[in-house]
Each structure stands twice: as C-alpha cells, then as structure tokens.
Amino acid sequence: MEPADIQGDLTEVLLSEAEIQVRIAELCREIERDYQGRPLLLVGVLKGAVMVMADLSRELRRDVEIDWMAVSSYGAGTESSGVVRILKDLDTDLTDRHVLIVEDIVDSGLTLSWLRENLSSRGAASVEICALLRKPEAAKVDVDARYVGFEIPNHFVVGYGLDYAERYRNLRAVGILSPHVYS
Ligand code: XMP
Ligand code: MG
C-alpha cells in the first residue's frame, strides 16, 4: 500500500513487498548452498542497497560479515558515466575473502563492472554480485551478476531503497516513477 502523500507519483507498482520477500528468500537458499563452508563478506553499495542488504542478510541462515561502500559516477545528469569515485571505502581487508556485492540495480552495468574490478584487484578470493533488479535493455557492458532478483523493463524505478532526489527509498514496493514528478 502506498502512502497517501505519494499517490499518483507512481504509474505502476512493478514488484509488491510480498513478491520481493519471496524472491529474496529464494536467492538466500542459493547463496547458502553456493558458499557452504566458506566465510562470506557482504559488501553493500550505499545508499540504494540498504533495504536489500537488511532483508537479504537477515534471511540468510548463516554467519556473514557486512561492510559498506559508497561510490558515485562522475558526469552530468542521471546517466552513469562509468568513471567511478569512491566516497566511502570499505573498512575490511579483502585479501583472500569471498566477497558478495549487494546492489539494488544493474542498469547500464558501468558502476558494477568497475566495482567488481576494483574489489578483485585487492586480492579477494572471489567477487560475485547480487542485485535485486536488472534492466537488460539498458546494458552498456555485460555484468555477470550471479544472483539477480528480477529483470525489469527500462524505466526509472523507485522504492525499496531506490530513490529520486532521495525520496521514495522507504517504499516497501518497487514502482515506476511517473514522469510528472521529474519533468
Ligand atoms: P549503472 O548500472 O547504470 O547504475 O552504473 C548506477 C546506479 O544508478 C542508480 N540507478 C537507479 N536508481 N532508479 C533509481 O532510483 C533507477 O531506475 C536506477 N537505475 C540506476 C543505482 O543506484 C545504480 O546503482
Ligand atoms: Mg546504487
């Protein structure tokens, strides 16, 4: 259910809270199986991945470590440029660690392909990606994300951590933002 004060801001609810939770549980069973017997470090990408990290990490029936990074793409507008700047780095040494990057969305793929390269170069034993959403039509580079929650059409989406001008992150669902909000 959308809060009353944002009614009309979404053209469509793409994923309900229940659908998201069911899919996250499925991904967790895969992750538990794949990382059995190996210590796991979850790396969340601020700020969009906060909700996915909160739900995914608590759904996992195993011990994990959690750390965070904040990155920003240079360049004007809403398009990712692929030139990435680290705003907040990890506190954890990645040497010989099994790292799972937790992200909200793979859009152009530029941010995640840069991030995977960057973390791999620090001596991690493995670096994989878990993204709640992926927009296949928007891909500029091929990002091999091992765990993807949902493939969605090429629209600007908000909710469940995803924002427009820092709003809508607290929605429990994911929806398509109505163009009247940003035009
Ligand atoms: P790419 O894959 O293009 O994505 O490097 C970079 C970051 O941009 C954000 N992003 C979005 N945020 N709705 C949002 O609220 C969207 O539809 C959307 N697409 C991309 C997101 O933080 C991603 O990590
Ligand atoms: Mg993000």
What is this model's ipTM? 0.94
Q: What is the DSSP letter of 140?
A: S
Q: Per-residue pLDDT tens for 9-32?
A: 999 999 999 999 999 999 999 999
Distance in angstroms (rounded) separating the CA atoms of residues 114 and 96: 20
Q: Is 89 a catalytic residue?
A: no
Answer yes or no: is 8 within a domain.
Answer: no
Distance in angstroms (rounded) separating the CA atoms of residues 169 and 174: 9
Distance in angstroms (rounded) separating the CA atoms of residues 11 and 79: 21
3-state secondary structure of 128: strand
Beta-strand relationship, 174-177 and 157-158: antiparallel
Q: Which ligand is nearest to the Cα of residue 115, counting in written order?
A: 1
Answer yes or no: is 10 within a domain.
Answer: no
Range of the domain at 127: 17-153
Answer yes or no: is 30 within a domain.
Answer: yes
Which residue's CA lies nearest to atom 12 of ligand 1? 162
CB 156 near ligand 1, within 6 Å: yes
Instruction: Report the domain count for the chain.
Output: 1
For residue 50, give the CATH number of its domain.
Answer: 3.40.50.2020
Tokens 């969340």, located at residue:
44
Q: Per-residue pLDDT tens for 119-141?
A: 999 999 999 999 999 999 999 99
Residue 157's closest CA among 126, 132, 124?
A: 132
Answer yes or no: is 175 within a domain.
Answer: no
In the structure encoding, which two tokens stand for residue 144, read together? 């091999």
